[in-house]
Structure 1
């Protein structure tokens, strides 16, 4: 995944677009909408331009424009009509497809216009829960199947992170819960922080005092928070780190750090599945996702 992926299989196109490979082949053969190349062994592969065109076609088709009519459009008209439609329509599935399109085309204008359209119909919290969360789950699937380019994920993640930070700054920092402080951090070499950023927003919204430490924090940095008298709830998120052969050791190190203290740890993310059967001496709680945790806050 360190190199930029330039070619896609038809299975990649199916994963990204949500359109079955069989349908893509029909569009390709009957309407000549895509022009794949072939390997020496006659296997189809598609360029980034093919992918972008397919996403535009899907956006138009899902807005009740027939494939036969789309096939009559020029390449430029497909792009212009899809972009205009994306600006106009911004609710849930349509918005997710627009964000997907903006990600693969590195289109910041499309992202912001789609987001601003959503703001006319939803609060920021509704946008995150109804649109960004399903979208990010889809990105996670694309990442796992090695369909997504690292550059694309970084581009869209940074745009979403900006929205979370802007909305967090808008909140009035009136702390109503002074009994506990929340310290949020990611393990070393973990950089997937959108869920943790949003959780920080939700905690601040509820009047909690938070300290956001961000990405790639060595565990020994937490020692500072044991010097005060205030109860601390540490929160971490684990998408890819620690590695499978290190995660048990990592949690036992935290467990040893927390035992005989009033402090606690909440760990969220798909990596926590690896330690669900461990017995801890301290107050450690595990959640598979941010949404699961938010149900109990």
Structure 2
């Protein structure tokens, strides 16, 4: 069964970085796009249009004139894009390449782009500069329904596999602080806390990882057993916005002896009052800063 996604011109702008006004000009002057229309005469674009515009954006960003791009066949354009992404180090180019892989659900190509970047700039920088911005872009479109959930799941699972392999490859050092990582009941978006686990272990600290959909009683049981100095969670969809303040207050009271770090769609940019032992993390880079502020981990002699 084929997966059909539809995009507005604003969606194309969000994913390609090309202004909607410019897209309309290119559409009229070079016949680059062929928008479809709904029964109520609203223009929309499909996966083929999005792939085309991502390829056009990548070539144009790398110095190709739009008139030359417009004269290329689909195959010529694809070959040029593959050559560029294999030698280019710019993050935007790599994000475009990953987006095309997502649309085509091309696991082999996605894996190649990721592996190449990991070899060139390392796992942590690949996550920080390419995967996170990419996931943020598709996250916005997933929230608005522009991207099919199957496409989002396809990508999330591939990234999740890479993270688990990277975490398993780390050696736990003696000393360091204990971090308890979990997602609340009903919360399944695991990429952020997996990467947090990678960063924490990479900085010489210990991770107790509970993962998705953690019942409150299980969280408390593990907390009593391990007595972590920090609890970290990411709240994307659950609990929902009307209950989030109540949830944070209860969390702060129940785990009053440790510092709690919270992040996610329901936290960032929301009008919330954070208890004294709760700190909001707006970007994953903030976790790196927090980790450097924690007292240095004793090193083996």
- TM-score, length of structure 1 as denominator length: 0.87
Q: Report the alpha carbon displacement of residue 82 of structure 1 after superposing the two structures with TM.
A: 2.3
Please give the residue correspondences for 1:284-295 in structure 2 after superposition, counting only pairs within 5 Å: 284-295=278-289
Which sections of structure 1, spanning at least 5 residues, go unmatched? none
Partners of 2:178 and 2:230 within 8 A in 1: yes
Distance in structure 2 (CA, Å) of the matches to 1:13 and 1:58: 11
Distance in structure 2 (CA, Å) of the matches to 1:251 and 1:120: 40
What residue number does 2:222 align with?
225
Does residue 148 in structure 1 map to residue 143 in structure 2?
no
Q: What does the per-residue CA deviation read over 1:216-270, in whole Å, with 9 as the maximum and x for residues that have no partner?
A: 11111112134437444221111222101221222233233224xx334221223
Distance in structure 2 (CA, Å) of the matches to 1:227 and 1:32: 64
Q: Report the alpha carbon displacement of residue 103 of structure 1 after superposing the two structures with TM.
A: 1.5
SS at match of 1:216: strand
What residue number does 1:249 align with?
246
Please give the residue correspondences for 1:158-169 in structure 2 after superposition, counting only pairs within 5 Å: 158-169=157-168
Aligned pair in 2 of structure 1 residues 143, 171: CA closer, same or farther (>3 Å)? same
Partners of 1:53 and 1:79 within 8 A in 2: no
What residue number does 1:134 align with?
133
Distance in structure 1 (CA, Å) of the matches to 2:271 and 2:8: 35
Partners of 1:90 and 1:115 within 8 A in 2: no
Q: Report the alpha carbon displacement of residue 44 of structure 1 after superposing the two structures with TM.
A: 2.1
What residue number does 2:36 align with?
37
Count of aligned pairs:
288
Aligned pair in 2 of structure 1 residues 251, 275: CA closer, same or farther (>3 Å)? farther
Please give the residue correspondences for 1:69-218 in structure 2 after superposition, counting only pairs within 5 Å: 69-177=68-176, 180-218=177-215
Distance in structure 1 (CA, Å) of the matches to 2:162 and 2:24: 38
Give structure 1 regions of 4+ aligned residues with deviation exceeding 6 angstroms.
Answer: none
What residue number does 1:237 align with?
234
RMSD: 2.3
Q: What does the per-residue CA deviation read over 1:4-41, in whole Å, with 9 as the maximum and x for residues that have no partner?
A: 66322222211221111222122222212221222355
Q: 1:276 aligns with which of 248, 267, 272?
A: 272
Q: Report the alpha carbon displacement of residue 146 of structure 1 after superposing the two structures with TM.
A: 3.4
Aligned pair in 2 of structure 1 residues 207, 151: CA closer, same or farther (>3 Å)? same
SS at match of 1:266: strand
Distance in structure 1 (CA, Å) of the matches to 2:40 and 2:169: 57
